Structure 1
Amino acid sequence: MAGRGTVKPHSGFNADSDAEVLYKAMKGFGTDEDVILKLLTARSNAQRQQIKAAFKTLHGNDLVDNLKSELGGKFETLIVALMTSPIMCDVTYLRDAIKGAGTDEKVLIEILASRSANEVNEIKSVYKREYNDDLEKDVTGDTEGHFKRMLVVLLQASREQGIQEGLIQTDAQALFAAGEQKYGTDEDRFITILGNRSAAHLRRVFEEYRKLAGYDIEESIQRETSGGLRELLLAVVKCVRSVPAYFAECLYNALKGAGTDDQTLIRLMVSRSEVDMLDIRAEFRKMFSTSLHKSIQGDTSGDYSKTMLLLCGGDDA
């Protein structure tokens, strides 16, 4: 996926001079938000981490603390997310999803269904380091039933590699038998197959499933399961088919409706800006016949909106 992000490392990068620019933007009466947002969206996350270190060395202050005291609201939340490393963002979101009042299932689903095995393993070790808690234990203490079991399978981060030709037919039939062909659904079969096979293998299984059933596996999941498990299985299937398409749909849902789901919008725009935002934009255009840029523009305002649009990186009108 290299090079599919909208935010790229800045070529003439100098951490000290960037730290100075930010210092000046916050010094004295009034803050120059424009300078802050333009500079930070034109640097990669790794470069922002270097700016943070340079700022502390030069001024003896924590850059993020300074930004927090100068900014406010959604704009502040967005800028702080930009200043946080991607893994640390995931870890913090997961922690909040579990430890807050009630469980935020949407965050658990979105992160664990879409991250690679390496990323999940890294998330687990950083979570342990930061909170001295076991992520799997925390997740299982906060969820139940088949939903919990599927999350645990995803947390093992041990998807098989490659395509097993001999199993494509068998897997498709097992999924069909587990759902459509029996009274009551055998959720365990869904969990085992969807949680453990490689994405390439599952894409072939879904083709076979369609031949067997006459419709897509998503339809069966919609009909045969409910609640958190249904949302999680659907997210896994969508990510297997196309991670950018999955995120395009998440963004669409965050933007449509009466109020904007800013938490989701921030989480997705920041986490995907260096990964696959160009592909997400293309999928968004294809799926919803409008551009992500226009949707953000129509739904946000002020410095918050300006920053979001810079992360979006262009209009596919």
Structure 2
Amino acid sequence: MAYRGSVKPFANFNDKQDAEILHRAMKGIGTDEDAILMVLAARSNDQRQKIKAAYKKTHGKDLVSALKSELSGLLEKLIVALMTPGILYDATQLHKAIKGAGTNDEVLIEILASRTGEEIKEITKAYKKEFGNKLEKDICGDTSGHYQRLLVILLQGSREEEIDESKIEKDAKDLYAAGEGKFGTDEEKFITILGNRSVEHLRRVFDAYRKLCGSDIEESVKGETTGNLENLLLAVVKCVKSVPGYFAEGLYKSMRRAGTDDDARIDHVRIMVSRSEVDMLDIKECFKKMYGQSLYTTIQEDTEGDYQKALLYLCGGND
């Protein structure tokens, strides 16, 4: 498979040299943000971890703490995110979403609906190691009902692998009978089918569903469920259809409401950072197709300053 990230490992990488560039950028009066960005946005996460180790060895200080003391606001959040290993970053985002008053359901939904089974297992391990608690227990403490049930199923990271030909028609009929075909909704059926079947299998089920009822499964989910359960089911459906498409939509929405909304800005920090080495090139393609303008241009219109520069680096240039 071709590499679809916008950030690639830097070819002539030298961790000690990079650590020195960063040290000089933070020395004396004022900070050279450009130098920091040029290094960190153009290195892979593995390389950033090596720079961090080299910096500590030479200067006896933690690089992330040093960066935090020099930067502020969204740029600081973005750089700290870039310096965090990917799986640990997801675990930390989930922890922030759960702890304290209220729950940031958007973050729970985004991460658990879009990550692969393997990634979710790794995130669960990292969460336990970092925060001493079980992720499932913490999520159950903050959620309830059918929404909680589906989150717990997704947390197992154990979707079926195969397409089961014998179940495609039946699953489509069961989804219809559980929603549009009856008075009231059988949420359990939605949860079991959408939470457990393989992605390829579900794509076939959605096609069969459209033939059967003449409408998209999304319409049924919207008509039959509400609140967090609806949002989670929709996210699962969108990710089954196209993970890059799901993130293109997430970026568009967060950019469009980012004027003064810090939560929205944190949303696009999270998406840009966590997808930069996964599928950012595909996200850009979907973005262009869905909204008729490039992600690059949208970032230029909706952000400013060094923070904008950082996002443009992560976006991988103008298409």
Structure 1 partner of 2:117: 117
- 1:301 counterpart = 2:304: yes
Unaligned runs of 5+ in 1: none
The CA deviation string for residues 121-161 of structure 1, in whole angstroms up to 9 with x for no partner, is 00111111111101001001100111101100101111001
1-side partners of 2:68 and 2:132: how far apart? 26
RMSD: 0.9
Question: Equivalent residues in 2 for 1:56-205 (5 A)?
Answer: 56-205=56-205
- 1:221 counterpart = 2:221: yes
The CA deviation string for residues 64-95 of structure 1, in whole angstroms up to 9 with x for no partner, is 00000011111111011000011111000000
> Scaled by the length of structure 1, what TM-score is found?
0.98
What displacement does 1:315 show?
Answer: 2.1
- What amino acid maps onto 2:162 in structure 1? G
SS at match of 1:43: coil
- 1:269 counterpart = 2:239: no
> Scaled by the length of structure 2, what TM-score is found?
0.98
SS at match of 2:278: coil
> Number of residues paired by the alignment?
316
- What amino acid maps onto 1:9 in structure 2? P
1-side partners of 2:249 and 2:187: how far apart? 25
2-side partners of 1:100 and 1:296: how far apart? 31
What displacement does 1:259 show?
Answer: 3.6
2-side partners of 1:289 and 1:58: how far apart? 48
Kept in 2, the 8 Å contact 1:6–1:274? The answer is: yes
2-side partners of 1:101 and 1:294: how far apart? 37
What displacement does 1:100 show?
Answer: 2.8
What displacement does 1:209 show?
Answer: 0.2
2-side partners of 1:30 and 1:253: how far apart? 35
Question: Equivalent residues in 2 for 1:234-249 (5 A)?
Answer: 234-249=234-249
1-side partners of 2:2 and 2:13: how far apart? 20
What displacement does 1:29 show?
Answer: 1.3
Kept in 2, the 8 Å contact 1:147–1:229? The answer is: yes
Unaligned runs of 5+ in 2: none
Kept in 2, the 8 Å contact 1:4–1:279? The answer is: yes
Kept in 2, the 8 Å contact 1:2–1:275? The answer is: no
What displacement does 1:237 show?
Answer: 0.4
- What amino acid maps onto 1:246 in structure 2? Y
2-side partners of 1:116 and 1:295: how far apart? 28
2-side partners of 1:296 and 1:245: how far apart? 17
1-side partners of 2:269 and 2:190: how far apart? 32
- What amino acid maps onto 2:66 in structure 1? N
SS at match of 2:169: helix
1-side partners of 2:54 and 2:309: how far apart? 26
Select the residue among 284, 287, 302 that pairs with 2:287. 284
Percent same amino acid at aligned positions? 61
- What amino acid maps onto 2:211 in structure 1? K
